[in-house]
Amino acid sequence: MNTTPDTTPLPTIEYVLPVEGMTCASCVNRIERFLRKTPGVSDAFVNLATERATVLVDPAVAGRAELVGAIEAAGYDVRAEAQATAEAPAGDLDAETAADDAERAVAQRRTLFQASVAIGAALIFMVLMFWPQTVVAMEDLNKLILWPATFIQFWAGGRFYRAAWRAARHGSATMDTLVAVGTSAAWAYSVFVTMYPEVVHQAGLHPETYFDSSAIIIGLILVGRWLEQRAKGQTTGAIRRLVGLQAKTATLVRGTEEVEVAIAAIVVGDLLRVRPGEKVPVDGVIVEGTSAVDEAMLTGEPMPATKSVGDEVIGATLNTTGSFVMRATRVGKDTALANIVALVQRAQGSKAPIQATVDRIAEIFVPAVLVVAALSFVAWFLFGPDPRLTLALTAFIGVVIIACPCAMGLATPTAIMVGTGKGAEAGVLVRGGAALEAAGRLDTVVLDKTGTLTLGKPAVAALIAAPGFEARTVLDLAASLETGSEHPLGRAVVEHARRDELGFAAVQGFAAAPGHGVSGRVD
């Protein structure tokens, strides 16, 4: 008896974790570094646009808990996994997508509201700044503006402080650090000028405040965040359209009864009735009946495939002619459609090789900006013209705010999301960002299957009548008979005849034989 223990390593498994708190490419690089240092992790990449971390792990060494711990150690949070409810059962792709969309919509509305309030307040502050001082003294105006400006600073700008503090606690700096430092400098100086105007006068300076500047900066950056969130929502349209292919209900066969149930209530082994014109609810095998099933959404073939007892049918394909009973073999996230959705999501969350370079640059970019901003302040304060403090502060704020590297970290992943999404809409599945980047250098495409190059809709190319018959008469007879057929070839004949106003003759004894054609008597 061989007692040698099995030392064969387990295959790595993939975890996809939704991450909260990321704002720029430096966040991405930091999380990836912490994940890759975790024992058992063979690779990890984080996508800023999809806000997801994809990690390959040896299950014998680490699991989800260790990965969540690594992300939290980096200073970020992992959203809790959605729980199944009566309204959104597990395995209901449509309900899960709707829940994500609803959560995203709430976040967008909150961001847009805060941005609108901040920009509106900033415009009011600007108007008051030009108010004649013969009516109200500048010191009194500053005190009037102080309280709403402080509210804007910490309510609308609160997200920047929270993110900057989280990054600082873990020894890093992000885009939020730049925003928080820049607007805080403008706000704090303005508060000092408002509370101690006599000190400013003694220094020979005019008591100018920058409440409007800090508010408008927060508002405009929030508008940018809102546009980012909106772009992310639009790029998930391909996923929604794929999920929309899924049937919403199914007809469950229970003995002699047939009951309509929600798609998520189906379990493996259930018997389901599929009638003509209905979508196949889940993957399964036909146990009774014969039909022609349109599988174009899966194979690209325009012609329906004839299916009979023992043949496999795929969920979301369309039953065209006959009725059949099938036994469910794969449901929920195990179906072919769910795997396609997962493939598109994985592609949208992948990285192009160029993005790794961008992420590395972004990580050192933020600290470098802070250093340059500090040097600008010192240079203007020591060597600049009067008023030195005002000009130095303006230079510091300008460098910090303008250098925010939002677009650098978001442009590439958003482009990948759009590219893979548009491909999925056209029936082209892109494996990942590397393939998409390489596609830009292609000059030749070789295809080994003609079915995928058709329009997906048959059309009559030519009509040749047998001796003794006229083509027009044959077309009239055939189209009249095919008017009662649901087959794509039959519809093509009818459409061709309609151009010559043919195919309207009465038909008697019409019968359709799945896979063999139609028969009947015309006139």
Q: How many CB atoms lie within 10 A of CB 46?
A: 28
Q: Name the DSSP letter for residue 441.
A: T
Structure tokens at 404: 């925010």
Is 334 catalytic? The answer is no
Which is it for the CA torsion 234, 429, 456, 319, positive or negative? negative
What beta strand segments (E) does 303-396 contain?
305-307, 312-313, 318-319, 324-330
Place of tokens 């061989």: 2
**CA dihedral in degrees (435, 441, 447, 451; nearest 10)?**
70
**Torsion over CA: 378, 384, 390, 395 (sign):** negative
Amino acid at 336: A
Q: Decide: 450 and 361 in contact? Cβ < 8 Å.
A: no
Nearest to 171 by CA among 25, 367, 361: 367
**At a CB cut-off of 8 Å and minimum separation 6, what does 266 contact?**
250, 252, 272, 281, 282, 328, 331
What span, in angstroms and rounded, lies between the C-alpha atoms of 503 and 505? 6
Of 6, 386, 443, 448, which residue is the catalytic one?
448
Strand 13-20 with 52-57, pairing:
antiparallel
One-letter amino acid identity for 320?
Answer: T
| Distance from C-alpha of 49 to C-alpha of 29, rounded to nearest angstrom | 14
Q: Dump the DSSP string for 487-522.
A: SHHHHHHHHHHHTTT-----EEEEEEETTTEEEEEE
Half-sphere exposure of 62 (CA within 13 A, CB side): 23
Question: Are 84 and 90 in contact, with CB atoms under 8 Å apart?
Answer: yes
What does the alpha-carbon distance between residue 43 and residue 498 come to, in Å, rounded to a whole number? 60
**Residue 41 to residue 66: CA distance in whole angstroms:** 10
Q: Which residues are catalytic?
A: 448
